[in-house]
Amino acid sequence: MNSRKIILVVCLLGSSLLGKAQLMNAYKHNAEIGVGLGLGHYFGDLNPSAKINRPKAGFGLFFRKQLNDYIGLRLSGEYAFLGYSDRYSDNPVQQRRNLSFNSSVWELGLSGDFNFFRFQPGFEGFNFTPYAGIGFGIFTYEPYAFLNGVKYQLRDLGTEGQGSATYPDLQPYTPLAFAIPFTLGVKYAITPQMNVFGEIVYRFTNTDYLDDVSGNYAPDAFPPLPDGSPSPAYLLQDRSYETGSPIGIKGRQRGTSLKKDAFLTLKVGVSFNLQTYRCPTY
């Protein structure tokens, strides 16, 4: 191949690459709207070793605004059904304690996402990226438990003496808390309009009452009913009587407030791309 042919091939190849680059720049990936389904899991006083052995259902919706090819701002709404029980522990002390809870968690969050690769749906080689994110969330929670088939809201009972005249310094905890979510995920554009994704979001929270367990036993905060029988609050604040002799002595440690509770969600889902196009200039 003589030098003229070499120069011609190089020029044609350069023109093709330049055309593709101009075409990619003509398409602007503005935003995504997505939905995901998956699982949620709790970590705290009933699960101090961070086992992932009792996942429950979760789902979420989000809108992500792309600020550039790599950075986006995401507004999300999440739901996670969380719960755990001391019976799942390998620790005999926890098994004797015998506490449990369930809670529906609703979260509204705002976070920044970072794509590790340029993500340009519809262009081969640019339709996949891992991503990471960090943000801020606010969520509601209401731990509850069942006793003889009846559902009781544990916060209302003040199971550690909160709100009792016997312990005037202990106030009921709020059902509203804050979280710092950390996200790791991957997404792949199966068409220019639609992506599939998978992600895990771990949340540090500012509450130790996601499970209703944090401080000490306070059995004297729960007087018997008029007929002399123990109240539901008394029976739910210490359920060790179901596994042997009661251990809930006044002032004995029931949980620990040294570490806040946390939870995560693992989801897979689909998202839909919002794009604009402007005619490229050659």
- pLDDT on residue 2: 56
Is residue 197 included in any domain, yes or no? yes
| Segment 164-178, tens digit of pLDDT | 999 999 999 999 999
What pLDDT digit, counting tens, does each position of 234-279 carry?
999 999 999 999 999 999 999 999 999 999 999 999 999 997 756 5
In a domain, residue 183? The reply is yes
7 in any annotated domain: no
| Range of the structural domain that residue 59 is part of | 30-277
- Quickly state the pLDDT bin for 24 (edges 50, 70, 90): low
Report if residue 20 sits inside a domain: no
The CATH number of the domain holding residue 224 is 2.40.160.20
Structure confidence at residue 77 as a pLDDT band (50, 70, 90): very high
Measure the CA–CA gap between 76 and 65, rounded to whole angstroms: 11
Span of 37-41, 179-183, 275-279 with lowest mean pLDDT: 275-279
In a domain, 1, yes or no: no
The total number of structural domains that make up the chain: 1
**Residue 122 confidence (pLDDT):** 84
